Chains A and B, each alone.
Chain A
Amino acid sequence: MSGHSTYVPKSPVMKWFESRLPLFGLIHSSFVAYPTPRNLNYLWTFGGILSFMLVAQIVTGIVLVMHYTPHATMAFSSVEHIMRDVNYGWLLRYLHANGASMFFIAVYIHMFRGMYYGSYKAPREVLWILGVIIFLLMMATAFMGYVLPWGQMSFWGATVITNLFSALPIVGEPIVTWLWGGYSVDNPTLNRFFSLHYLLPFMIAGVVALHVWALHVVGQNNPTGVDIKNPAKDAVPFTPYATVKDAFGLVCFLVVFAWFVFYVPNYLGHADNYTEANPAVTPAHIVPEWYFLPFYAILRAIPNKLMGVIAMFSSIAVLVFLPWLDTSKVRSAVYRPLFKQFFWVFVAVCVGLGYLGAMPPEGGYVIAARVLTAYYFIHFLVILPLLGLFETPRPVPASIADAVLAKHGGGAAAAVAMGAASAPSKK
């Protein structure tokens, strides 16, 4: 996409190094000269925000591990030790705990942005699927991380979620025993979750590298969904244009992050997790972290346990097939009047499922969860395939530059030029 590197080393040392390992050429072509569509809006800053959050989580996590003790009898006390006695330990822990939530807020915005602008469509299918893998790894990491403070919700959340595997016929019970390292969630479970919680972020970093690589092969999508045709007119170099815009977006995001960390640090957590894990006392409501609630609602909506587990995993697995379920040739929702409406209904359904996931599974809540679960799957399996066939999209601009001209120039000339150019450019 970016072509051969335009990086020219100046000093003899750099020339010597570059001819042996063209590392700076790679960095230059990926983050400096890389052509980025000129019409990207602020939703495109979330890729950079997510990279920052991953690094922030790894850095705060590594320091926390220096003070944390992964043992069933000491984990809760060691977290309190961090909160009370470690210098700025409270800051590290609140950054890490709220950082997980911020990571998910950013990833959900990032995913919905991809859905709205059709960023999963050819040639970006692999890019999208790598994203789904990252999302799955994030969920596993976050789930195991929430177990580590060994509070009541840690313990019972781990018990409920690992128990899901017992729904599998024949192999279910042995799998659960194997996961626990015993016959209940206990010290062996805490130890292996700690080990995996340390490992998985580095796997995420690896898949992120692939995700960025795939992105740089196929190029970024943009609000029009039209490919870059003439880099000189449609694109701007990544640095300084995207760099400064991403930096501004990131700092705005950090204001929200700081608000949670310093002013409402326990808002996104659960009070029960300040009570040490006790296998003899079950909390009144076992609720996962907020970012799992929509999936938890889907799990509980199905009366049969095995079917519920299958539905929950399917609700994520279906995302892998999204590039082929959406049959429309037009990428961006901007030019798809019907899809745009269905998109916002889908967003509302996801939020609704999240709300229902936090409510007790009784009465009307269950009925509502069933309706919304059904709609969740209908959106992917029925609405998206049919929309592509029946929807009449609005005319797509010939190029990114034309779309920008029409918006900013506002002049009749630009509009005429756009109309004239749009006909032959249809592939």
Chain B
Amino acid sequence: MKKTTLLIAGALAATLAAFAPAHASGTEKPPRVSWSFAGPFGTFDRAQLQRGFKVYREVCSSCHAMSRVAFRNLAEPGGPGFSEAQIKALAAEYKIKDGPNDQGEMFERPGRPADRFPAPFPNENAARAANGGAYPPDFSVLAKARTYERGFPWFLFDIVTQYQEQGPDYIHALLTGYADPPQGFPLQPGQSYNKYMAGNAIAMPKPLSDGQVEYPKGPDGKPAAPETVDQYAKDVTAFMMWAAEPHLEARKAMGFKVILFLIVFAGLLYFTKKKIWARVHDEAHA
């Protein structure tokens, strides 16, 4: 009986698989990157977040806003770990529009830690006008707003393996996925070819190149991390993941305690239940 059911279920699965059309798009699956924040005990690498912030500041922020992140966030636990003094100095470098003042006029003042990152463009239309019609998305939650299709059966395994880094993997792949277009590939003016972009045509020009951002030097005088496109992409992606989920570390740390508590509690309840029900089972044997 069980066999028949299995057979029918198997036949059904096979039918579904046979019906599934092959994906005929030219986009590649992003390669997996080993992120420090993946897995049940994942934490951000402070040095990496600081490097990623440097990349964001020197490269990305000329087009991409990060309006939901405040300067103070950079000093909060679970983040890049800047000191309060560093944040004060950093915020003061930005000009923040404030007002109206007593005269009813808007004015500019140096930033304070409580301010959020000012956007590079006053509005979406201005951003589009400066970027050939394309709108550079805000970085605040972008790492959670991007993903790629995992497909059957991988999407099921992802629950158990806790693979939640589709967004970061995609962004890292996109940043490193610029290539020469194949012969005859139609590109509009201002577009670039990217292996991982849906449709392979991307409006953002290749943003990173080797040696573009200077990394802090170690004691031996060499950069603390390689100044390569791949490393820049990893660092800025890790920073974006933190920006999108600033409480990730607190969440995972609490999760471990909660689940441990629940498992112990379940164990105690199991033995209590066994003891209480033993009376009933004894009666059954009587």
Contact = CB atoms under 8 A, between A and B. Distances in A.
Interface of A: 38, 77, 80, 83-84, 90-91, 94, 236, 240-241, 244-245, 247-248, 251-252, 254-255, 258-267, 271-272, 274-275, 284, 337, 340-341, 344-345, 348-349, 352, 355-356, 359, 362-365, 367-368, 371, 401, 404-405, 408-409
A271 B246 contact: no
Interface in B241-286: 244-247, 250-252, 254-256, 258-259, 262-263, 265-266, 269-270, 272-273, 276-277, 280-281, 284-285
A365 B20 contact: yes
Contact of B266 (A241, A255, A368): A255
A264 B259 CA distance: 13
Given A264-B158, A355-B16, A368-B15, A344 B273 contact: no
A98 to B, nearest CB: 12
- With a 10 A CB-CB cut-off, give which of B40, B158, B285 has the most chain A CB atoms: B285
Interface of B: 1, 4-5, 8-9, 12, 15-16, 18-21, 40, 68, 73, 137, 140-142, 144-147, 152, 158-159, 162, 164, 166-167, 198, 244-247, 250-252, 254-256, 258-259, 262-263, 265-266, 269-270, 272-273, 276-277, 280-281, 284-285
Contacts of B280: 38, 236, 241
A368 B20 CA distance: 9
Given A38-B280, A263-B40, A254 B262 contact: yes
Contacts of B12: 345, 348-349, 352
B164 A264 contact: yes
- Top 7 nearest A-B pairs (CB, nearest first) are A262-B255, A364-B19, A274-B145, A271-B147, A248-B269, A251-B266, A368-B19
A255 B259 contact: yes
Given A262-B255, A348-B9, A368-B19, A244 B269 contact: yes
B269 A263 contact: no
B252 A368 contact: no
A264 B162 contact: yes
A259 B251 CA distance: 11
Contacts, number: 141
Contacts of A356: 16
11 contacts: A83-B245, A236-B280, A248-B270, A255-B259, A255-B262, A258-B262, A262-B252, A267-B159, A274-B144, A368-B16, A371-B15
> From DSSP, what is the main secondary structure of chain A's interface residues?
helix
Contacts of A90: 245, 247, 250-251
A244 B276 contact: yes
A267 B144 contact: no
Contacts of B159: 259-260, 264, 267
Contacts of A247: 269, 273
